Chain A
Amino acid sequence: NAGVTQTPKFQVLKTGQSMTLQCAQDMNHEYMSWYRQDPGMGLRLIHYSVGAGITDQGEVPNGYNVSRSTTEDFPLRLLSAAPSQTSVYFCASTGLAGGPDTQYFGPGTRLTVL
């Protein structure tokens, strides 16, 4: 298993540009989520999904959209990038088959918005 994969690893955007951060998992996990981590801070939840076709907002959802058309993929869209969205973005997944909801995290996408 590759686990949780994220692309790209690094990205630089200009203010106002849009882009999609990709996240995929091959563990057949029902639950997937997106976090952002600003320097010196803990992770904050952006959006999450409990299964295909179901998404919900987390703590800091503004400026981001998500969709879950398949179990494997959970892309995060930045609609109009702002410098305040400069951060490291982590995707995570969990499923009951692996034990009581241990969350597995991807390696992160480092985003800079100029």
Chain B
Amino acid sequence: DAKTTQPPSMDCAEGRAANLPCNHSTISGNEYVYWYRQIHSQGPQYIIHGLKNNETNEMASLIITEDRKSSTLILPHATLRDTAVYYCISRISGYSTLTFGKGTMLLVSP
């Protein structure tokens, strides 16, 4: 799995968009970008994943650069409940395991 780099922490005002960056400059052509989050004391929760096209679901949007070396997770209207550690993981789809780094601690404030 390619190594990913994320800022250790970010702040966001409630109701504003939260844009969480991830660098994966060594990603290979068959590796997807996955995002999970972990709210305090809970198990990680899947958010979204993509290969090279931008993706959107009910939770978030994922923007992947054309060269696939970086991506941005967008929470369009952050709420206090979005305060969590967000993990960006790149890996081959299938039964391969998840390699978690330290992620980005997102703090959403009123």
Contact = CB atoms under 8 A, between A and B. Distances in A.
A33 B97 contact: yes
B29 interface: no
A88 B93 CA distance: 26
Interface of B: 32, 36, 41-46, 49, 87, 93-103
Given A48-B97, A100-B49, A101-B95, A41 B102 contact: yes
Interface string A78-111: 0000000000101010100000111111111000
Nearest to A104: B46
Given A41-B102, A42-B100, A43-B100, A108 B41 contact: yes
A105 B43 CA distance: 5
Nearest to B93: A100
A61 interface: no
A101 B93 contact: yes
Contact of B43 (A45, A92, A94): A92
A30, A33, A92, A102 — which one has the most chain B CB atoms within 10 A of its CB? A102
A73 B94 CA distance: 20
Given A31-B95, A50-B95, A94-B95, A102 B46 contact: yes
A107 B100 contact: no
10 contacts: A30-B95, A35-B100, A42-B101, A90-B43, A90-B44, A92-B43, A92-B98, A101-B93, A102-B46, A105-B44
B43 A108 contact: yes
A110 B96 CA distance: 26
